[in-house]
């Protein structure tokens, strides 16, 4: 599958899950129970849910078109080898590249679910428009900050390190301050073994000084 095809399929799946969330009272109640009740948050982050209905709207598996679509979904990891939905029962959130293209899907249930193990990408790329970032280590933490009015909250994957891709974005957007939401994290810890120090030597970093 070409990159453009993959992008189109992922976007369609994200859109389908997003619409299902709006139509599923139990899923909306799940978000409400976790304090995710901001009127813009669902649309802003294309939050969705998988209720195992995706396969039911696809062309019949015995048809050429149906087989082709299912093969594509399996290649992307959206369906498993048996044709079951990977994100069954999950709240879903798309993860984007530095260019804003959806490259990953995060799923939340008792155990986190990923298409590609959360190896790369960003949640809430729009936060880079601010000169000060709050860097979180999970999507759920970032959503909690966002709904409390702190829209400059970002998650950079993998969360265990400061990636070169993230450093490039810090330079491009001229970020001045990073606050680590996790008090046990800081720049030196996450960038240990990396090839370069802070991309901007005037950039300040601090940890554990978050507003909520």
Question: Which tens digits make up the pLDDT trace of 181-196?
Answer: 888 777 776 766 544 5
CATH code, 3-118:
3.90.980.10
34 pLDDT tier (thresholds 50, 70, 90): confident
Residue 139, CA atoms < 13 Å, CB-side half-sphere: 27
Residue 20, SS3 per DSSP: helix
Query: Per-residue pLDDT tens for 73-112?
Result: 999 999 999 999 999 999 999 999 999 999 999 999 878 8
Instruction: Tell me the whole-structure pTM to 2 decimals.
Output: 0.86
CA dist 122 and 166 (Å) reads 9
**CA-closest candidate to residue 135, choices 181, 198, 192, 167:** 181
Q: With the CA atoms of 22, 28, 30 and 33 taken in that order, what torsion angle do they form, in degrees rounded to the nearest 10?
A: 150
Residues of the chain with CATH 3.90.980.10: 3-118
Q: Exposure of 39 by Cβ count < 10 A (0-12 exposed, 13-18 middle, 19+ buried)?
A: exposed
């Amino acid at each position: 599958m070409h990159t453009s095809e993959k992008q189109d399929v992922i976007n369609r799946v994200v859109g389908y899950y997003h619409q299902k969330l709006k139509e599923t009272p139990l899923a909306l109640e799940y978000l409400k129970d976790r304090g995710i009740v901001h009127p813009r948050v669902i649309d802003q982050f294309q939050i969705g849910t998988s209720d195992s209905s995706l396969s039911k709207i696809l062309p019949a598996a015995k048809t050429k078109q149906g087989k082709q679509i299912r093969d594509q979904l399996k290649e992307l990891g959206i369906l498993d080898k048996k044709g079951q939905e990977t994100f069954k029962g999950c709240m879903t959130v798309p993860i984007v590249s530095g260019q804003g293209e959806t490259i990953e899907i995060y799923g939340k249930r008792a155990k986190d679910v990923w298409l590609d193990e959360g190896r790369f990408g960003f949640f809430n790329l729009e936060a880079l428009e601010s000169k000060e970032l709050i860097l979180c280590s999970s999507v759920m933490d970032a959503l909690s900050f966002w709904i409390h009015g702190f829209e400059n909250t970002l998650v950079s994957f993998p969360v265990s390190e400061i990636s070169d891709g993230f450093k490039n974005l810090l330079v491009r957007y001229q970020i001045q301050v990073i606050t680590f939401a996790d008090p046990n994290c800081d720049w030196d810890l996450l960038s240990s073994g990396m090839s370069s120090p802070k991309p901007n030597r005037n950039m300040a970093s601090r940890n554990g000084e978050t507003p909520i």
